[in-house]
Amino acid sequence: MPTFRERLITAMGNISPLVILFFLCVLFSLLTFVIPGGEFDRKTIEVMGRVRSIVVPGSFHHVPSVPQGFQELWTVFMRGAVDAADRSFVILLSAGAMTAVIATGAIDAGIHVIVRRTGRFGIAFIPIIVFALGACGATFGMYEEAIPFILVITPLMLTMGYDSMSAVFVMYWSIAVGFACGITNPYTVTIGQALAGVPLYSGSGFRVFCFCVMMTITSIVVMRYAARVHRDPSRSLSAEEDVENRVRLHASPEASTAAAMTPRRVFGLVCLLVAFVILMIGLLQYEWGFTEIGGLFFWMGIAVPVAGGLSVKEMIEKNIEGMRSVMIAVIMMSAAQIIYFILHDARILDTILNFCAGYLTRVPEVVIAYVMFGTSALMAALLGSASGTAATVMPLLAPLADVLHFSKQIVVLAFQMATGAFNFWMPWDGIAFAICSMAGVNFFKYIKASAKFAVFIYVPTALLLLALAVLLDYQ
Domain boundary assignment for the chain:
15-83+106-258+326-471
Supply the mean pLDDT for the chain.
82
pLDDT, greater one: 208 or 54: 208
- Tell me how far apart the alpha carbons of residues 329 and 84 are, in angstroms, rounded to a whole number: 12
For the chain, what is the total number of helices (H) and then of strands (E)? 24, 4
Helix (H, G, I), strand (E, B) or coil at 224: helix
249-287 burial, b for 16+ CB within 10 Å, e for fewer? bbbbeeeeebbebeebbebbbebbeebeeebeebbeeee
Q: For residue 101, which of 290, 295, 267, 334 has the smallest C-alpha distance?
A: 267
**What's the rounded mean pLDDT across residues 253-258?**
52
**CA-closest candidate to residue 149, choices 380, 445, 431:** 431
pLDDT of residue 362: 62
Q: Rg (Cα) of the chain, in Å, rounded?
A: 23
Report the predicted TM-score, pTM, of the whole model to 2 decimal places: 0.75
pLDDT of 357 higher than 80:
no
Beta pairing partners, 46: 51
Q: Cα separation of 162 and 124, whole Å?
A: 13
Highest mean pLDDT out of 130-144, 297-311, 345-359, 366-380:
297-311
Rounded mean pLDDT, 444-462? 94
Phi-psi category of residue 336: left, alpha or beta, with phi > 0 → left and psi -120 to 50 → alpha: alpha
Could you give the CA distance from residue 434 to residue 95 in angstroms, rounded to a whole number?
Answer: 9
Percent of the chain whose predicted confidence (pLDDT) is above 70: 86
Question: b/e for 118-138, b at 16 or more Cβ within 10 A?
Answer: eeeeebebbbebbbebbbbbb
Residue 12 has a CB neighbour count (10 Å cut-off) of 15
